[in-house]
Amino acid sequence: MEKRIRLRHESDVRRVYDEGQSWVHSLLVLVARPNNFDFSRVGVTASRRVGNAVARNRAKRLLREAARCLYPQFGVGWDVMLVARARILEVKEPQVEKALASLLKRARLGESEIYNQDATSGPTR
């Protein structure tokens, strides 16, 4: 993913967790909040609960690849954190991509009426 679409600063990540809304799948969690940009930014994370460093790095690679493939479906104006869950290590990349697509559809981040909401209000379900 190119640099400008990555969530890199701790303050931005913290804001997503504190003010965002989350959607859960057995493989990953999607947390999103509106931003004031004309593009969406994405961050990925995997806690120690996922496994050792090798396992966490694989989980993050799977999430980054799925996010790269599905980035156009993220819509415009969102900060999104993708959190790996332990089961992600049991599946291949196409299943992760399918799980992320399912969450994006449930979150409706790409729908324009949600983007046009006030930036302080979260996404609707």
pLDDT confidence bin for 9, thresholds 50/70/90:
very high
Handedness of CA 116, 113, 31, 54 (dihedral sign): negative
Sheet containing 78-84: give its strands across.
21-24, 28-34, 78-84, 41-45
Torsion of CA 104, 19, 57, 75, to 10 degrees: 30
pLDDT (tens digit per residue) in 43-96:
999 999 999 999 999 999 999 999 999 999 998 999 999 999 999 999 999 999
Per domain, the residue ranges of the chain are 3-107
Residue 98 pLDDT > 80: yes
Token digits of residue 23: 């959607």
What per-residue confidence (pLDDT) applies to 121? 46
* Region of residue 55 (phi > 0: left; psi between -120 and 50: alpha; otherwise: beta): alpha
Identify the CATH class of 3-107.
alpha beta
Which residue, among 18, 99, 28, 32, has the nearest Cα to 60 in the 3D structure? 28
